[in-house]
Amino acid sequence: MTRPSTWLVVVVSLGVWGCGGGGPSSGAGWTKVYQPTSLVVGGALVVDGSRVIVGIEKEVAVSDDDGATWAVKSAGLPMDLPFQTMVVSQGKVFAGLTEGVYASADHGETWTKSDPGLPTSVSPYALFDTGSALLLGMNAGASEPGMMGGVFRSTNGGVTWQPSSTGLSASAGASSFARLGTTVFGCSTGVARSTDDGQTWQPSPLPLGNALSAVTLGGAVFVSSSANVVYQGSDGSTWTATGSGLPADPADVLFTDGAVLYATAFASGRDGVWLSKDQGATWQAFNEGLALNDRILGLAVHGDFVFGVDSTANVWRRARPK
């Protein structure tokens, strides 16, 4: 995985993407709707019902009006650890920080640690709800007795966790998960797949590069690769490269909204957000309003808007593409 060397980046804006022409939608493009109170790095965001929640190094901010106003809700959280991933699962919001997992049962108002059964060195890169379990992928495999490997699983809403890395290298972590039918896919150097809800794994290597992020769309699974390629597959037995248009720059994050496939968090920090409306056959820039080096780390959608959080924890918003 390439994410460890690029995840926590302080960015200085060097220019502004041009507006008008070449973009898939009209309008003002991205606008900044939240800026943290101090200089921080990293960030993750999620939508819980009607609330947009963004987790950053020193605070959690929530908005109940699509980003028009924000309130800080950080009770129970450490104040110096960046957020790396967030997910809504079994009625709770879960947050993976650089050290530890926290959960909120009141839509981000208050937080408690949720780590029984996890190694003390846990640094979650991915949290994923399979529908019947919660999966956690770490940046690397743990070696503590009884807590080996880089994937853990909870079937009781994060109350307890169990190791779930059978079939993976003991040192392998996992940066992303996706589910297609009864198969769960994990990005763990290469791709691994599980047909028992993440309990055991089988390798499903890509033609080139390490697997970075996985999503499903229209009966297919898409995986971004460190070899500057987004691959498409069905059951993981074979992989084909998607169409043209993406920058020659690995995308650490894929995201889907309806029939739209997004790629972002490019390794160079300079390529913004790209999207495909034809299942990866062609790609277009979606960058109007972003500064040249605004590296978007995560995306979420609510109502009429797409939200993004960048590497200095600013939150951006623009209209969802038609």
DSSP 8-state assignment for residue 18 = P
CA quadruple 161, 81, 302, 306: dihedral, nearest 10: -130
82: confidence class by pLDDT, cuts 50, 70, 90: confident
Report which of residues 182 and 143 the model is more confident about: 182
Alpha helices (H) in the chain, listed in sequence order: 3-6
> What is the structure's pLDDT at 144?
60
Percent share of the chain, pLDDT over 90: 68
Least confident piece of the model among 15-29, 126-140, 277-291? 15-29
Report which of residues 90 and 24 the model is more confident about: 90
CA angle 189-191-125, nearest 5°? 55
For the chain, the structural domain boundaries read 3-319
Whether 298 and 22 have beta carbons less than 8 Å apart is answered as no
SS3 6: helix
Q: Residue range 187-200: average pLDDT?
A: 94
Reported as a single tens digit per residue, the pLDDT across 120-175 is: 877 899 999 999 999 999 877 665 655 656 899 999 999 999 999 999 987 888 99
Contacts of 219 (CB under 8 A, 6+ apart): 180, 234
The closest alpha carbon to 276, from 305, 307, 251, 311, belongs to 251
Least confident piece of the model among 33-42, 178-187, 188-197? 33-42
Reported as a single tens digit per residue, the pLDDT across 211-236 is: 999 999 999 999 999 999 999 999 89
Contacts of 130 (CB under 8 A, 6+ apart): 177, 179, 184, 197, 198
pLDDT, the chain, mean: 86
Query: 282: which 2 tokens?
Result: 């062609």
DSSP per residue, 137-181: EEEEEEEETTEEEEEEEESSTTSS-EE--BTS-TT---SEEEEET
Contacts of 27 (CB under 8 A, 6+ apart): 288, 318, 319
Q: Which residue has the tokens 């819980």?
A: 48
Whether the predicted pLDDT of 17 surpasses 60: no
Rounded CA-CA distance 175/180 in Å is 17
> What is the structure's pLDDT at 277?
96
Q: What's domain 3-319's architecture?
A: 7 Propeller (2.130)
Whether the predicted pLDDT of 8 surpasses 70: no
Rounded CA-CA distance 26/320 in Å is 11
CA quadruple 168, 127, 76, 312: dihedral, nearest 10: 110
Reported as a single tens digit per residue, the pLDDT across 237-270 is: 999 999 889 999 999 999 999 999 999 999 988 8
> What is the structure's pLDDT at 141?
60
Rounded CA-CA distance 175/267 in Å is 14
Whether the predicted pLDDT of 18 surpasses 80: no
